[in-house]
């Protein structure tokens, strides 16, 4: 038996061994939370607790898999497999399939993703002849999703006067009707959306006391990871199931609660002490990830939040480098400075590209970073774009799999009934939808019952029947073929590869490769499944694979090649849970970070501060912040002010840098650096100090300001000497833009470099 305690510090040991009663583990960033969780489950199994009675809830399948794999290394593998470990949605979907009939579904119900839901709402809007500009499908879905997350049924929504008044004021009085029709169409298709998994689990436990009692006795020990990210529905489900034994352990960090926009409620973790007055509080405060300076900076920032559970994170690592601060004139220059800094660190410290990450508040900020990295020939990868499972050819093939499993899945059926083309026209499909709606049933059931529009000729009817026969032939093979065999058979039979190969462009070739990669993914998934009694590879059917795909989170939909070497660009939200040796947090400006929409309440501002805390704590070795005086936003150049969050860090922790004020060139291959602050070269070995390229005679610098009329901005050229009423004499370094947005970077003799809008600057050319 492995001695689990030898690898743990004292608070971790306490978190692992306190297995009875309510326990809250507040785990600071980089404090070994995952180790404590996995060792806790392993310890419980070692102590003789039935693994079937343990439910461990996570927010990603990846986290669940990694934890289970670690537990299997610590205790008997078959015992580890018997733990109910997975995401909220995967565990609750598993329960719903067992109890489906009690809530009016069958066990093979489909799970709609966001695109499916928007397509269904768009169809409903079309049926009702509603203007999609007044009722954008995305906004309607967001409203319905928020209602479901608050456990509102369509009837609850329609009967809430405050909600109805809000909808009327926003000129969307029919949301309640759309909500009702949307739910009815989902039910008719034997489908749920993501929010329904939580909604119907609550309904199941609320309306069926015998089912609730069954699962209360089944799950005697419950663990919840990232508890600060739970929403109201998740909170209520856990509270109900844990009510009998109250052996509930929640792990999280209130300082990293950053998903309020998804419905996460920080009060769930803050109020745990009120729900369970006899709870045990354990703090994991030693940070194993970052240097002391980075940890001290994060502590200083989060200390400004009022709503928090107090803790003092510390590190016994070296003090480390001071936090860098880059001060740029514009967002373009900010990108250049960041790229130059990365280039210098790479060259002087012999670092791979994957050591670096650039984090930003909004996706729009990536543009200037991308452009600058390309100029430096630094490879990069943006996270948060189109995922593998969102590509058209992949969604097409998955739609076939969905229809084979659940032929009443209307959105999947509509996607594939004439793809690849089989002569079923758009008008014929729409006529079938009308017939199905009139009979309040599905298109599939109409085909099965031989119910078609009266004016359909036999040729059209036979095309629908041929499609139905093909799908039924696939269904007949489900019991005979494993997931990979059936998926390959379907792919070959429908001729998808053949259609895709007709496009021999690089994009067409890529689509074929994507389909082949999907088949590889099914094979890989099948190889991962193990028989819990023998330990041998278990037979996996298509239903199991589709369940896994349907419940993938955004962050899991892309696979990284460990051999790839690139700088990572992503939003701070996407970076949660990750770590990098060198981290750049860009755009540290008021109204950008914190965002302008987050300044109306203290709660919103504190969430922004928690987001900055998350950004800081991604860094292991070096943290660099950057901001610009001017930035293009919505097509307009706006002046910016340094973020208050920067000023909340103790100045002694920040490397005092100068603003960009010169041109420089690299000693390595003559690569131009552009305007750059001294910070990019500070503390880097073997790096020559750059020198300003512009120097002027004193007589010119002292040119009198009087008697100089503002010159026509169109006459200005790089290298010209100019006079400004406030900044005095200077030299034009560069000119960019056109018309009203034309601007110039000017190196003033006494004021340094300024980026000026020429229509306001009133510069005079010195003769």
Hey, which residues are catalytic here? 33-34, 225-226, 256, 618
CB-based contact 388:559 (threshold 8 Å) = yes
Pick from 389, 352, 738, 766: nearest CA to 550? 389
CB-based contact 554:87 (threshold 8 Å) = no
Q: Environment class of residue 717 by beta-carbon count within 10 Å: exposed (0-12), middle (13-18) or buried (19+)?
A: exposed
Q: How many helices (H) and strands (E) does the chain have?
A: 32, 22
Contacts of residue 269, defined as CB under 8 A and 6 or more positions apart, other chains included, come to 24, 227, 228, 230, 250, 252, 254, 257, 309
CB-based contact 77:107 (threshold 8 Å) = no
Helical segments of 391-541, H only: 392-405, 410-416, 426-438, 443-448, 458-476, 483-494, 496-501, 506-528
Alpha carbon separation from 115 to 46, 133, 383, 410, 551 (Å, rounded): 45, 18, 20, 13, 14
Q: Which two tokens stand for residue 716?
A: 């200005």
Alpha carbon separation from 52 to 74, 79, 410, 416 (Å, rounded): 17, 8, 36, 40
Rounded to whole angstroms, the Cα distance separating 40 from 150 reads 32
Q: Which two tokens stand for residue 147?
A: 């209602």
Rounded to whole angstroms, the Cα distance separating 463 from 521 reads 32
Q: Environment class of residue 355 by beta-carbon count within 10 Å: exposed (0-12), middle (13-18) or buried (19+)?
A: buried
Rounded to whole angstroms, the Cα distance separating 402 from 123 reads 19
Q: Which two tokens stand for residue 465?
A: 């029947």
CB-based contact 627:327 (threshold 8 Å) = yes
531 upstream amide cis, omega within 30 of 0: no
Q: Which two tokens stand for residue 679?
A: 């910070």
Q: Which two tokens stand for residue 585?
A: 């947090």
CB-based contact 78:91 (threshold 8 Å) = no
Rounded to whole angstroms, the Cα distance separating 261 from 540 reads 37
594 upstream amide cis, omega within 30 of 0: yes
Residue 140 parent element (H or E): helix 137-149
Rounded to whole angstroms, the Cα distance separating 239 from 575 reads 29
Q: How many residues appear in the chain?
A: 767
DSSP-derived secondary structure for 299-361: HHHHTT-SSS-----B--S---PPBEEEEEEEHHHHHHHHHHHHHHHHHHHT--GGGEEEEES
């Amino acid at each position: 038996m492995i001695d689990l305690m030898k690898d743990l510090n004292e608070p971790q040991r306490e978190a692992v061994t306190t297995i009875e009663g309510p326990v809250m583990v507040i785990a600071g960033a980089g404090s070994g939370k995952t180790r404590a969780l996995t060792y806790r489950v392993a310890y419980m199994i070692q102590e003789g607790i039935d693994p079937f009675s343990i439910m461990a809830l996570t927010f990603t399948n990846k986290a669940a898999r990694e934890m289970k794999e670690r537990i299997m290394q610590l205790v008997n593998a078959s015992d580890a497999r018997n733990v109910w470990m997975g995401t909220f949605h995967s565990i609750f979907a598993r329960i719903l399939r067992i109890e489906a009939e009690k809530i009016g579904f069958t066990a093979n119900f489909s799970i709609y993703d966001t695109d499916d839901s928007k397509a269904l709402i768009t169809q409903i809007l079309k049926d009702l002849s509603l203007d999609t500009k007044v009722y954008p499908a995305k906004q309607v879905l967001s409203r319905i999703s928020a209602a479901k997350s608050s456990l509102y049924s369509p009837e609850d929504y329609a009967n809430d006067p405050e909600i109805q008044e809000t909808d009327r004021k926003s000129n969307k009085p029919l949301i309640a009707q759309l909500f009702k029709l949307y739910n009815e169409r989902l039910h008719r298709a034997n489908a749920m959306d993501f929010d329904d998994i939580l909604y119907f689990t609550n309904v199941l436990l609320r309306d069926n006391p015998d089912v609730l009692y069954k699962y209360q006795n089944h799950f005697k020990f419950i663990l919840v990871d990232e508890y600060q990210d739970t929403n109201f529905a998740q909170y209520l489900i856990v509270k109900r199931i844990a009510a009998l034994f109250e052996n509930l352990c929640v792990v999280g960090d209130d300082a990293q609660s950053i998903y309020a926009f998804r419905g996460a409620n920080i009060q769930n973790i803050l109020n745990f002490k009120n729900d369970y007055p006899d709870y045990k509080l354990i703090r994991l405060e030693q940070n194993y990830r970052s240097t002391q300076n980075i940890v001290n900076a994060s502590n200083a920032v989060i200390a400004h939040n009022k709503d928090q559970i107090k803790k003092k994170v510390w590190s016994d690592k070296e003090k480390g480098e001071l936090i860098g601060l880059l001060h740029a004139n514009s967002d373009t220059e900010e990108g250049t400075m960041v790229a130059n800094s990365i280039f210098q660190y790479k060259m002087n410290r012999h670092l791979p590209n994957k050591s670096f990450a650039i984090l930003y508040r909004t996706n729009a900020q990536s543009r200037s970073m991308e452009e600058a990295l390309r100029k430096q020939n630094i490879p990069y990868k943006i996270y948060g774009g189109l995922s593998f499972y969102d590509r058209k050819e992949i969604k097409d093939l998955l739609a076939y799999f969905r229809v084979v499993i659940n032929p009443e899945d209307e959105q999947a059926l509509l996607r594939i009934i004439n793809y690849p083309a089989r002569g079923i026209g758009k008008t014929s499909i729409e006529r079938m939808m009308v017939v199905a709606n009139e009979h309040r049933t599905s298109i599939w059931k109409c085909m099965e019952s031989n119910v078609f529009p009266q004016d359909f000729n036999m040729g059209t009817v036979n095309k629908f029947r041929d499609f139905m026969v093909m799908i039924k032939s696939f269904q007949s093979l489900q019991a005979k073929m494993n997931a990979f065999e059936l998926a390959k058979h379907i792919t070959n039979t429908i001729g998808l590869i053949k259609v895709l190969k007709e496009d021999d462009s690089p994009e067409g070739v890529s689509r074929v490769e994507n389909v082949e990669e999907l088949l590889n993914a099914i094979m890989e998934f099948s190889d991962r499944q193990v028989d819990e009694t023998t330990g041998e590879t278990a037979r996996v059917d298509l239903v199991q694979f589709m369940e896994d795909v349907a419940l993938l989170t955004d962050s899991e939909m892309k696979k990284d090649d460990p051999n790839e070497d690139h700088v990572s660009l992503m939003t701070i939200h996407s970076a949660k849970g990750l770590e990098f040796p060198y981290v750049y947090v860009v755009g540290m400006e008021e109204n950008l970070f914190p965002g302008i929409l987050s300044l109306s309440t203290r709660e919103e501002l504190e969430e922004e501060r928690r987001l900055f805390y998350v950004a800081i704590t991604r860094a292991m070795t070096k943290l660099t912040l950057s901001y610009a005086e001017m930035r293009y936003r919505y097509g307009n150049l706006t002046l910016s002010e340094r973020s208050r969050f920067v000023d909340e860090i103790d100045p002694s922790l920040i490397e005092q840098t100068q603003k960009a004020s010169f041109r420089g060139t690299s000693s390595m291959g003559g690569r131009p650096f552009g305007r750059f602050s001294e910070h990019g070269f500070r503390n880097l070995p073997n790096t020559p100090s750059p020198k300003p390229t512009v120097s002027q005679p004193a007589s010119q610098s002292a040119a009198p300001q009087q008697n100089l009329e503002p010159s026509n901005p169109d006459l200005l050229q790089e290298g010209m000497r100019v006079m400004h009423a406030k900044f005095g004499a200077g030299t034009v370094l560069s000119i960019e833009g056109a018309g009203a947005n034309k601007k110039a970077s000017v190196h003033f003799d006494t004021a340094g470099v300024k980026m000026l809008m020429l229509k306001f600057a009133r510069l005079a050319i010195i003769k």
